[in-house]
Amino acid sequence: MQYTSLGRSGLQVSRLALGTMNFGELTDQTAAFQIMDAAIDAGINFFDTADVYGGPQRPDMEKGYGTSEEIIGRWLAQGGRRNRIVLATKLYQPMGTGPNDRRLSAYHVRRACEDSLRRLQTDHIDVYQMHHIDRRTPWEEIWQAMEQLVREGKVTYIGSSNFAGWDIATAQSVAASRHFLGLASEQSLYNLSARTIELEVIPALRYYGIGLIPWSPIGMGLLGGVLRKATEGRRASPLLQTRIEQHRAQLEQYEALCQQIGEEPAVVALAWLLQNPAVTAPIIGPRTKAQLTVSLRALEISLSTETNRRLDEIWPGPGGEAPQAYAW
């Protein structure tokens, strides 16, 4: 396994992060334990979850909330594991129907952290991430709440997710005025088929020394060989079927290129991310132990200059970084 620093921090994390969104909904506890055991055996030490994972993510449906954290907690309770992993979770999304059961008020930050610690059966969270920007709550309030958790030893590092470039800059400027480290990482949607963050988010992360943790690195399955799987009789979800039709011409070229270089499409998609110096660790979300094994292959390959050129032709980005991408 390869390791790298989480942004400008001294924390060392594996180049692949284990995502656990499927735990409790698509992956039962037995399979989840097997996946986590296999991940730690492979050297993956970066585990990512969220308070809302494990059930329907709708504000009017509480069933299933916290299940992913609970499964991880029961796995950790077996002993000998907690100090071998960097444990990351998130808050923001609705955890109930009450007006303060969501977002980033100091009131909710405190309660959400306590609830996650209880479900995870641990006394601290290594990376506590804001799942979304909350422009209703002032940064002074958010940072005061986070600083309190750090002082109490309940949280070590703070991360963000789904922030715009200017949100990152605003957060860091306020943190600096408070002599606080601020953000160590940002989770963003980033893959070959979704490259918008190249405009402003990646430049902001580079400037502030914040690690990038891409989520959905294979585009929710789009980049995982969907055309070939369809010929084998595996039916995609209605949403994925719509995306396949939107990108069919690109997918045909992409899967042909992957076949030409002799690598699985999912492996190529991950390898493309891993070669980007801005990327700390893509989040893989295996539903089975076999899927985890496939993902590990991405650490072993290097894409040629010609392959990268063809990938840019098939999946063009926004044209570079702002403002040069759209202005002189």
C-alpha–C-alpha distance, residues 115 and 294, integer Å:
34
Beta bridge partners of residue 8, listed in sequence order: none
53 assigned to active site? yes
C-alpha–C-alpha distance, residues 27 and 289, integer Å:
11
C-alpha–C-alpha distance, residues 33 and 71, integer Å:
8
CA–chain centroid gap for 283, Å, is 5
Token pair of 207 as six digits: 């400037």
C-alpha–C-alpha distance, residues 117 and 171, integer Å:
25
C-alpha–C-alpha distance, residues 161 and 168, integer Å:
10
Residues 6+ apart with CB under 8 A from 212: 185, 186, 188, 190, 201, 202, 205, 276, 278, 279, 280
Contact 272, 315 (CB under 8 A): no
211-215 vs 283-284, strand pairing mode: unpaired
Q: Which of 53, 92, 128, 254 is flagged as catalytic?
A: 53
Backbone angles phi, psi at 295, to 5 degrees: -60, -35
Backbone angles phi, psi at 176, to 5 degrees: -60, -40
CA–chain centroid gap for 215, Å, is 4
Token pair of 43 as six digits: 């050297």
Residues serving a catalytic function are 53
